[in-house]
Amino acid sequence: MSWFWIALVCAISLALADSFTKKYFSHFSGVSILLVRLSLPGLVLLPYTVSAGLPDVPMDFWYLLLILVPLEIAAMWFYVMAIRDTPLHLSLPYLSFTPVFVIITGYLFLGETVSWDGTLGIIFIVVGTYLLNLDRIGKSWQTVFSPLTAVFRVPGSALMLIASLIYSFTAVLSKKAMLYTEATSFGALYFSLIGVVTLVLILLFQPRTVAGVLIRPGAMSLVGILMAIMVVTHFMALEQVETAYMLSVKRTSMIFGMLLGAWMFKDMSFRQHLPAGMIMLIGVVLILI
């Protein structure tokens, strides 16, 4: 299957996981959300990892994982803190900067380059994602620049920009590690390690969090499975194409999130966000061709 369709499955899975996390866990603590978003998919993938066994790889592979696992946990922590403490229109736009950062990190660590058309497509997706989260645009033109100025005055905005920057490194370095093995096996092993380490840290420092999440086993399992699908498809697509392209298509999860928001949460701002969604789709088409 083409990387493009696999990346779309990845985006849809992420959007569904985000929506169900918001629906069932929005009032939980940041540590609880870390448990749901990192530990659960890791545990879902753990049986596959155990059955596949450890890959026969050089020590460089394990050195990369030693760097990547704490970076992934830190990035998710910054992400969770940003969306918990800051309005979404002042935090989520910064996540769209990851593909832009990856143009640089992908070249430095993997020698990846993107065409001018591809770069233009990435820019369209970043601009569309940015506009998608400006819920108050039209009431005041000052709001157009609010996310840009928020990084200097709103802590949550700065946290999301930091998360976006960290993800630009983890996306590229994880692809570098994946070159030593097969995409599906690597994705399962990678997130199993992240999930187990996160769970151990939570059990050591906040063990009551686990009991609090267990009161919703159905929702917990659903989010865990969706995140596991997202992880596997992420690396399957990443194996076939430059990192910046794959992450740009993955960021269309915000379009699917917008549709899910209209359905699940009766968010009637769909028409207001439609132009931004169309800009993102233009970017996707530019990358696809």
In this prediction, residue 28 has a pLDDT band, given cuts at 50, 70 and 90, of: confident
Q: What is the DSSP string of 252-280?
A: THHHHHHHHHHHHS----HHHHHHHHHHH
Say which residues have a Cβ less than 8 Å from residue 45's Cβ, sequence separation at least 6: 187, 188, 191, 192, 195, 228, 231, 232
Q: Could you tell me which residue, 52 or 288, shows the higher pLDDT?
A: 52
Amino acid at 81: M
pLDDT at 139 over 60: no
Say which residues have a Cβ less than 8 Å from residue 53's Cβ, sequence separation at least 6: none
Q: What is the mean pLDDT of residues 163-169?
A: 93
- Per-residue confidence (pLDDT) for residue 151, from 0 to 100: 62
**Which structure tokens are listed for 138?**
């039209």
Other Cβ atoms less than 10 A from the Cβ of 4: the count is 16
Q: Are 77 and 170 in contact (CB under 8 A)?
A: no
**Which structure tokens are listed for 252?**
């269309």
Distance CA 81, CA 137 (A): 25
- Per-residue confidence (pLDDT) for residue 268, from 0 to 100: 57
Q: Is 114 helix (H, G, I), strand (E, B) or coil?
A: coil
- Per-residue confidence (pLDDT) for residue 15, from 0 to 100: 86
The closest of 213, 257, 171, 203 to 40, measured between CA atoms, is 213
Q: Could you tell me which residue, 282 or 75, shows the higher pLDDT?
A: 75
Q: What is the mean pLDDT of the chain?
A: 83
In this prediction, residue 188 has a pLDDT band, given cuts at 50, 70 and 90, of: very high
pLDDT at 194 over 70: yes
In this prediction, residue 128 has a pLDDT band, given cuts at 50, 70 and 90, of: confident
Amino acid at 179: L
pLDDT at 197 over 90: yes
**Which structure tokens are listed for 242?**
């430059």
User: Could you tell me the residue ranges of all domains in the chain?
Assistant: 3-288
In this prediction, residue 260 has a pLDDT band, given cuts at 50, 70 and 90, of: confident
- Per-residue confidence (pLDDT) for residue 124, from 0 to 100: 84
Distance CA 38, CA 74 (A): 11
In this prediction, residue 266 has a pLDDT band, given cuts at 50, 70 and 90, of: low
In this prediction, residue 278 has a pLDDT band, given cuts at 50, 70 and 90, of: confident
DSSP code of 156? H
Q: What is the mean pLDDT of residues 26-30?
A: 79
Alpha helix (H) ranges present in 97-251?
A: 98-110, 116-132, 146-150, 155-178, 183-205, 208-213, 217-238, 243-250
- Per-residue confidence (pLDDT) for residue 126, from 0 to 100: 77
pLDDT at 136 over 60: no
Task: Please tell me the total number of residues recorded for the chain in this structure.
Answer: 289
pLDDT at 273 over 80: no
The closest of 100, 52, 79, 68 to 175, measured between CA atoms, is 68
The closest of 45, 56, 42 to 180, measured between CA atoms, is 56
In a 13 Å sphere around the CA of 258, the CA atoms on its Cβ side amount to: 25
In this prediction, residue 133 has a pLDDT band, given cuts at 50, 70 and 90, of: low
Q: Is the pTM of this model over 0.85?
A: no
- Residue given tokens 């033109």 in the structure block: 141
In a 13 Å sphere around the CA of 76, the CA atoms on its Cβ side amount to: 20
pLDDT at 79 over 90: no
Q: Are 124 and 279 in contact (CB under 8 A)?
A: yes
Q: What is the mean pLDDT of residues 45-74?
A: 92
In this prediction, residue 233 has a pLDDT band, given cuts at 50, 70 and 90, of: very high
